[in-house]
């Protein structure tokens, strides 16, 4: 468990690192409020050099936070063959799991990123992009920033990550080895075939990234639902169909694909498709 002293030390160092919030008063805050402030300062921190002292304090803090939440391994998650008695040819390679994706000890977890690829800057926002960057630590934004800088050198200063690609980074303080970032389609008005194909591309390119990097287990979030307004049921249908198509061709290259859901309605949708 994080002690009050370790929380205070990390928070003080985060304040010192901040450009605009060094004068924040923290002495009267309780531990829960200090943890909220820590996450907020991490969320709004722009990419810039970071001291080893700050990283050591952060990594110790996040390690203890993860220990409190608990790590979930592949052995803890049944396959759909075990859970539902599915007779699908790939039932021993697919799982459905409801919970916090940042707890999963898998080869990779999938982040529903935005086109800037730097994570969510809204303090304590409930999107998965925010949760993953908060759990991984500020190193993840630094790596994403470096990747985007290199791509802007190559493609121009106004470059944004296209929809449907897959970008691999380290997992840092997360229990997974890697994070694969994909920008899903945004549904502004009506759903159309182009948007559906964009979502297919997200799943296909993440799976290709796994094969290319010898990642044998991956957990998908519900890409493009929620903030990006892709209809949940159609998104799940695309996810299941695309994964099944991949396993039919390249199933020998992967051991487990997890459909990670957070909300009950998504769990119900996937149960109807997978059982």
Q: Which residues contact 231 (CB under 8 A, 6 or more apart)?
A: 187, 191, 225
Residue 226's pLDDT is 87
Torsion sign across C-alpha atoms 108, 113, 119, 124: negative
Q: What secondary structure letter does DSSP report for 76?
A: G
Residue 4's pLDDT is 86
Residue 5's pLDDT is 87
Residue 215 has pLDDT above 90, yes or no: yes
Residue 2 has pLDDT above 80, yes or no: no
Output the pTM of the full model.
0.96
pLDDT in tens, 10-24: 999 999 999 899 989
Mean pLDDT taken over the chain: 96
Beta bridge partner(s), residue 167: 181
Residue 8's pLDDT is 94
Mean pLDDT of 159-176: 98
Give 29-36 contacts, CB < 8 A, sequence gap 24+: 31/4, 31/7, 34/7, 34/8, 35/7, 36/124
pLDDT in tens, 123-149: 999 999 999 999 999 999 999 999 999
Q: What secondary structure letter does DSSP report for 64?
A: H
Mean pLDDT of 213-235: 96
Mean pLDDT of 228-232: 96
Residue 74 has pLDDT above 90, yes or no: yes
pLDDT in tens, 181-196: 999 999 998 999 999 9
Residue 243 has pLDDT above 80, yes or no: yes
d(CA 202, CA 166): 7
Residue 1's pLDDT is 55
Torsion sign across C-alpha atoms 62, 65, 71, 72: negative
Q: Comparing C-alpha atoms, which of 15, 46, 257, 241 is closest to residue 138? A: 46
Residue 260's pLDDT is 98
Mean pLDDT of 27-46: 96
Residue 224's pLDDT is 97
Residue 36 has pLDDT above 60, yes or no: yes
Beta bridge partner(s), residue 179: 109, 169
The CA angle 124-127-133, to the nearest 5 degrees, is: 70
Residue 3's pLDDT is 83
Q: Which tokens hold the place of 6? A: 């370790």
The DSSP bridge pattern shows strands 108-113 and 167-170 to be unpaired
Q: Which tokens hold the place of 259? A: 């459909």
Residue 233 has pLDDT above 80, yes or no: yes
Helix orientation angle between 128-136 and 31-44, rounded to the nearest 10 degrees: 100
């Amino acid at each position: 468990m994080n002690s009050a002293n370790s929380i205070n030390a990390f928070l003080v160092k985060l304040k010192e690192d901040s450009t605009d919030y060094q004068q924040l008063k923290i002495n009267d805050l309780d531990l829960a409020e200090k943890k909220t402030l820590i996450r907020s300062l991490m969320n709004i921190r722009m990419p810039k050099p970071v001291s080893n002292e700050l990283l050591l304090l952060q990594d110790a803090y996040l390690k203890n936070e993860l220990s409190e939440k608990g790590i979930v391994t592949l052995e803890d998650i049944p396959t759909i063959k075990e859970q539902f008695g599915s007779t699908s040819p790939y039932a021993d390679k697919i799982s459905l799991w409801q919970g916090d994706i940042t707890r999963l000890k898998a080869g990779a977890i999938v982040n529903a990123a935005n086109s800037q690829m730097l994570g969510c800057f809204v303090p304590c926002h409930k999107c998965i992009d925010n949760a993953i960057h908060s759990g991984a630590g500020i190193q993840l934004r630094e790596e994403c920033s470096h990747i985007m800088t290199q791509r802007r050198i190559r493609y121009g200063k106004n470059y944004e990550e296209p929809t449907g690609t897959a970008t691999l980074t380290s997992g840092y303080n997360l229990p997974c080895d890697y994070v694969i970032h994909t920008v899903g389609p945004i549904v502004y008005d009506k759903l159309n075939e182009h948007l559906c194909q964009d979502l297919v591309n997200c799943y296909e390119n993440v799976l290709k990234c796994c094969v290319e990097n010898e990642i044998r287990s991956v957990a998908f979030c519900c890409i493009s639902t929620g903030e990006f307004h892709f209809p949940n049921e159609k998104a799940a249908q695309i996810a299941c169909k695309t994964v099944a198509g991949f396993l039919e061709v390249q199933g020998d290259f992967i051991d487990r694909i997890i459909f990670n859901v957070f909300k009950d309605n998504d769990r119900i949708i996937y149960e109807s498709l997978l059982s």
